[in-house]
Chains A and B, each alone.
Chain A
Amino acid sequence: MSELLQYLITGLGGGCAFALVGSGLVVIHRVTRVVNFAQGSFAVIAAMTASTLLASGLPHGVSETLAVAVGAGAGLLVGLVAIGKPGTPPGASLIVTLGLGVFAYAVEVLIWGDQPRSFGGVPGAVDVLGARFQAHYLLIIGATLAVFAGMGVLFARTDVGRALTACSANPYAAKVVGIDVRRMGLLSFVIGGALGGLAGVLVTPIQLVTFDYDVTLIVGGFAAAILGGLMRPALTLIGGLLLGVAQALVAGYGNAAYQMEVALVLMLAVMIGQAARRPIVQEEVA
């Protein structure tokens, strides 16, 4: 029983990272229709930045906050390149973000080298009903829930959030009522960058991060986000948590080597299931 509880907690912690990366994908996709392949890089860049800042003597909290800001900045840069040129179709933007993800490799290796990095998180371990796990997991879960609650408020209760939602519902109508669709698109990239960066700084204390860790994050994040059709943050949270728990259970009771397959097969199954339910005649993307 305590074993199961332990797997559940660690699974939820890992799933939070996927949920955060996935929600970044959702925010960007909702507003711009672009699937951002560079999303995992934001997490890696933020994680590396935080490790450098901590090593240079800045305290916890400050370092992580600055690192998330760097992630948001990276998001803005990716957004400027991907949707900055008017008339770029979403399909082309997808390939552009793929290219930018590779470009991030060059930057990361140049600045931080190709060795894995990690840093300490919340110290100590916690006992709950006989299950023992690092206290840092509680921070990950708490921070993620707070962020999702915050996003809910942002989208439902603020003017900016309503403008973002308007752009996602009907970009043309949004333009007509005076919303700057391009600026909202860039804003969504900034939010996506911050969410990715947050995932990076939260997950680094429990997971070594290398420059190509973004593939794992982007695949997990996409798998989480696909549950809500890349449009709904709440379902992304559920998808991420389910995925994390499933992976932890497979690793705990089965073989840790098959963790990655769990995410991938789950993602394929959901996508193919969704495609089967979709009508045959689809809108053409020119």
Chain B
Amino acid sequence: MTRWIPAAAAAALTLALPPLLSSSHLTIYILLGLAAIVTIGLSLLMGYAGQVSLGQAAFYAIGGYTAGLLSVHSLPPVLGLLAAPVVSAAFAVVVGVPMLRLRGHHLAFATLATQLILLSLVGQADWAGGAIGLQGIPRLSVGGYEFAEDISYAYLVWAAVALTMLVARNVVASRPGRALRALATSETAAAASGVPVGRYRLTVFALSAAFAGLAGGIYAFYLGYIAPGSFPVLLSIEYVVMAVVGGLGTLWGALVGATAIVLLVQVLNTVGTQPGMPSYAPSVLSYAVYAVLLVLVVLFLPHGIVPALRVRMSRVRG
């Protein structure tokens, strides 16, 4: 029973928060939820398939463009939202079949390359709005209900976070999930005990892409505008920072990591935009924070915040 308490508390908190937030804080809350969805997927991928993806924002972009393009061409927006994760996952399967032969830094560069190619192609595609981007994406509506206000997006996003957590948790807890954990420890040993290594790695890759695609779809409806510049390489690196800082291969770690980074960068942003601060201060501060946190955590807290806290808690109890 006790293990459900944190989940229930988190759920209650997320439900209670939106009406209490000011509009600028609500925006941060929504963006935080989106980042959390992507990070949960990336944390699964890095924690279980053991691979750094430096192109996760590519799947986010695909989700955004899928949702945006479908609804701009006057299809029902809800269809676009449903298609976003599906198309992202399908793309992941197509590029994953040749690419997942690669390991380690090779795969890191391959995912980076995938994102750069995608961004460049989208930037030259007139049907996708080219470098200017896709404008006039309608607000999301389901049946007769239109998601007109920010607060409705806040609930939508956090419902999506809950769904993502649930799917990820069930995957991890299932029999294939145990196989994945074996895979994360030793690929050779897992293969020797009959785990279909290649298929599972591809599945996790597609699942993490589907999560990112879902977040991208919501993002497109929320902002109503997307462009290649909305999905820079640095965004992919941000997701890596969030996943690593929170703790790889732990779902709560992804949530904690995303929350910690988004809030911290937001605080620094507020500091950086104070009167008297130079105009470059916000970007310098956020680059520095990503960098310093990533380096310090990798060197001194190699498993991330959440696993480190767990170890400490069990020591206190035991």
Query: A residues within 8 Å of B by Cβ?
Result: 35, 81, 85, 88, 91-92, 94-96, 98-103, 105-106, 109-110, 113-114, 215, 219, 222, 226, 257-258, 260-261, 264-265, 267-268, 271-272, 275-276, 281-282, 284-285
Contact = CB atoms under 8 A, between A and B. Distances in A.
Nearest to A285: B104
Given A95-B244, A222-B109, A102 B237 contact: yes
Given A219-B109, A264-B116, A96 B124 contact: no
Interface stretch (B135-143, B161-169, B174-182, B282-290): B282-290
A92 B113 contact: no
Given A99-B291, A105-B291, 11 more contacts: A81-B299, A94-B108, A95-B298, A96-B295, A96-B299, A98-B294, A100-B295, A103-B292, A106-B285, A271-B106, A282-B103
Contacts of A282: 103, 188
Contacts of B244: 95
A109 B287 contact: yes
Interface stretch (B19-27, B94-102, B308-316): B94-102
Contacts of B233: 215
A278 to B, nearest CB: 8
B99 A102 contact: no
**Chain B residues touching A, majority SS:** helix
24 contacts: A35-B105, A35-B108, A94-B104, A95-B240, A95-B294, A98-B240, A99-B241, A99-B295, A102-B234, A102-B287, A103-B292, A105-B287, A106-B288, A109-B287, A114-B283, A215-B233, A219-B109, A260-B117, A261-B121, A264-B113, A265-B113, A267-B109, A271-B102, A284-B188
Q: Which 10 A-B pairs have the closest CB atoms?
A: A103-B291, A99-B294, A106-B287, A275-B101, A106-B288, A35-B105, A264-B113, A99-B295, A102-B291, A105-B287
A102 B280 contact: no
Contacts of A261: 117, 120-121
Nearest to A271: B106
Contact of A99 (B54, B98, B106, B298): B298
Nearest to B286: A106
A257 B244 CA distance: 35
B193 to A, nearest CB: 15
A271 B110 contact: yes
A99 B290 contact: yes
B104 A103 contact: no
Contacts of A114: 280, 283
Given A94-B52, A110-B280, A272-B102, A103 B109 contact: no
Contacts of A260: 116-117, 120
A144 B291 CA distance: 32
Contacts of B240: 95, 98
Interface of B: 52, 54, 98-99, 101-106, 108-110, 112-113, 116-117, 120-121, 124, 186-188, 233-234, 237, 240-241, 244, 280, 283-285, 287-288, 290-295, 298-299, 302
Given A88-B299, A109-B280, A103 B288 contact: yes
A85 B299 CA distance: 8
A275 B294 CA distance: 29
Contacts of A285: 104
Contacts of B302: 92
B101 A272 contact: yes
A96 B116 contact: no
B186 A284 contact: yes
B281 to A, nearest CB: 9
Nearest to B289: A106
B117 A96 contact: no
A92 B299 contact: yes
Contacts of B292: 99, 103
A251 B109 CA distance: 23
A265 B110 CA distance: 9
A81 B106 CA distance: 22
Contacts of B298: 92, 95-96, 99
B101 A276 contact: yes
A106 B291 CA distance: 9
Nearest to B232: A212
A110 B104 contact: no
A275 B106 contact: yes
Nearest to A286: B186
Contacts of A102: 234, 237, 287, 290-291, 294
A113 B110 CA distance: 30
A245 B126 CA distance: 29
B134 to A, nearest CB: 19
A95 B295 CA distance: 7
A213 to B, nearest CB: 12
Contacts of B112: 219
